[in-house]
């Protein structure tokens, strides 16, 4: 057995070395891997063995991708246009429903069976409230026009939060208002305050009438 002959701790050694270290860079250092693929006719880009969607307006253009360990970010010039969780399985596809809305609003018949819709449901972005409003809209307007109305509602998500749109859908459904304009109006309303339990004036929880 050898006795510990160290006279300083690790913290002591670091305190001596710290003034000799170079300062950290002022700008963040990019650790992701760069790719510059071309967007195919389906609005998708290949990254390693998988494919990811981007807005369809970018079809035919080259975009810049920064691939990280858990996610990837897509840029058109210096503007972020998409962000996806990185896929692990080979040959997988990740589609964002919002990227296809401009096409789907013109061709609503392609909406119900789309992979993008299926993935939005699985991710919880397309909720049971969406489905309930959609069902009622199709009863009133017909399948094609009711679906188009739903897609117009989804486009509201470009400038409203997801929570506000869902609240607007729920309120419009209760009111029987199956139009995107009605949902937008309800989504823009301030949240209603919760009503307090009714109490008889002059009484309190601690003083009840006998």
Per-residue pLDDT reduced to its tens digit, 154-169: 999 999 999 999 999 9
pLDDT of residue 133: 98
Q: Sorting pLDDT into bands at 50, 70 and 90, what band is 26?
A: confident
Residues 45 and 125 in one domain: no
pLDDT of residue 201: 47
User: Is 9 within the bounds of a domain?
Assistant: no
Q: What strands lie across the sheet with 33-35, from one edge to the other?
A: 33-35, 64-67, 71-76, 79-85
Residues 119 and 85 in one domain: no
Mean pLDDT of 96-123: 96
Residues 180 and 111 in one domain: yes
Residues 108 and 169 in one domain: yes
Q: Rounded to whole angstroms, how far apart are CA atoms 84 and 61? A: 19
Residues 163 and 108 in one domain: yes
User: Is 141 within the bounds of a domain?
Assistant: yes
User: Is 10 within the bounds of a domain?
Assistant: no
Residues 52 and 108 in one domain: no
Residues 55 and 105 in one domain: no
From the number of C-beta atoms within 10 Å of its C-beta (0-12, 13-18, 19+), residue 15 rates as: exposed
Residues 158 and 183 in one domain: yes
pTM of structure: 0.76
Residues 177 and 109 in one domain: yes
Question: Which candidate, 131, 167, 129, places its Cα nearest to that of 147?
Answer: 131
Structural domain tally of the chain? 2
Residues 84 and 158 in one domain: no
Which of these three, 94, 113, 137, is where a domain ends?
94
Residues 81 and 109 in one domain: no
User: Is 203 within the bounds of a domain?
Assistant: no
User: Is 53 within the bounds of a domain?
Assistant: yes
pLDDT tens, residue by residue, 172-207: 999 999 999 999 999 998 766 655 555 544 444 444
**Helix 143-155 / helix 162-175 crossing angle, nearest 10 deg:** 140
Q: Is the pLDDT confidence value at 54 over 90?
A: yes
For residue 69, what are the domain limits? Answer: 33-94
Neighbour tally for 115: CB within 10 Å: 13
Q: Rounded to whole angstroms, how far apart are CA atoms 86 and 69? A: 7
Mark 160-192 as b/e (b = at least 16 C-beta within 10 Å): beeebbbbbbbbbbeeebbebebbbebbeeeee
User: Is 11 within the bounds of a domain?
Assistant: no
Residues 125 and 151 in one domain: yes
User: Is 200 within the bounds of a domain?
Assistant: no
User: Is 205 within the bounds of a domain?
Assistant: no
Q: Which residues pair with 94 in a beta bridge?
A: 52
Q: CB–CB of 71/91 below 8 Å?
A: no
């Amino acid at each position: 057995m050898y006795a510990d002959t160290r006279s300083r701790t690790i913290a002591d050694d670091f305190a001596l070395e710290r003034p000799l270290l170079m300062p950290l860079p002022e700008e963040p250092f990019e650790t992701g891997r760069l790719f510059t693929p071309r967007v195919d006719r389906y609005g998708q880009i290949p990254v390693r063995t998988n494919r990811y969607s981007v807005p369809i307006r970018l079809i035919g253009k080259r975009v810049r991708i920064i691939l990280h360990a858990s996610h990837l970010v897509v840029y058109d010039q210096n503007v972020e246009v998409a962000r996806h969780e990185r896929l692990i399985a080979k040959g997988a596809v990740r589609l964002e429903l919002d990227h296809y809305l401009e096409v789907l609003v013109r061709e609503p018949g392609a909406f119900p069976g789309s992979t993008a819709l299926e993935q939005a449901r699985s991710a919880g972005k397309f909720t049971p409230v969406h489905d309930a409003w959609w069902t009622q809209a199709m009863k009133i307007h017909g399948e094609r026009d009711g679906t188009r109305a739903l897609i117009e509602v989804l486009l509201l998500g470009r400038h409203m939060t997801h929570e506000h749109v869902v609240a607007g859908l729920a309120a419009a459904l209760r009111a029987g208002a199956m139009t995107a304009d009605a949902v937008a109006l309800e989504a823009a309303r301030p949240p209603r305050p919760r009503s307090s339990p009714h109490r008889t004036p002059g009484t309190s929880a601690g003083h009840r009438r006998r």
